[in-house]
Structure 1
């Protein structure tokens, strides 16, 4: 099973996804397709995402049991930490003001 979530993508992208997957709520596509179809769909989505964004979650032979792929402008970024995919939040680039605070954290073993 794969899950593709889209936000603010062109209408033709959703139309292409709805040929292969169901859309239980706007912008969320779910279905069971082969790896080849999944990769072709993702290539089409990521090439045509425009100003929007898209996230693909699909099964994989990893510790978590899935992989996450992203395309477009997004605040959340997937980072690999010892084989685990974790989400890192980027600083909000739309906020204005001269005082910005950057924080970072590290996981110490």
Structure 2
């Protein structure tokens, strides 16, 4: 049975955008929405993960679990999904080191 599938991308190659728009609608740049079978979803995600290069992508689709969905990620990203007792949570991985403790907001010293 086909289910609603969402793929969100940043900085992906043009040929990958073309492949995604053959099967899905792009309502805003980098966001693809469609009703796909599990087989098509798997094949598209394999293509995304294999050609992501320096970009990033997230796949979200319905699943039979507590949250009602599953998500997958590929490429370089700041947010990493982690499993906590069967629930998927998002851990932030800052791209820059934390500011010094005496400057909590990263403000320059006076």
TM-score where L is the length of structure 2: 0.84
- Could you say which residue in structure 1 is the equivalent of 2:32? 29
**Equivalent residue in structure 1 for 2:9, among 6, 15, 22:** 6
The alignment covers a number of residue pairs equal to 98
Higher Cα Rg, which structure: 2
- Could you say which residue in structure 2 is the equivalent of 1:89? 92
- Give me the whole-angstrom Cα distance separating, in 2, the residues matched to 1:24 and 1:85: 26
Displacement after TM superposition at 1:91 (Å) = 2.7
Runs of 4+ in 1 over 6 A off after TM superposition: none
* Structure 2 residue ranges without an equivalent (≥5): 102-110
* Structure 1 residue ranges without an equivalent (≥5): 101-109
TM-score where L is the length of structure 1: 0.85
Query: Cα RMSD between the aligned structures?
Result: 1.6
Q: 1:11 to 1:98 in 2, by over 3 A?
A: same
Displacement after TM superposition at 1:12 (Å) = 0.6
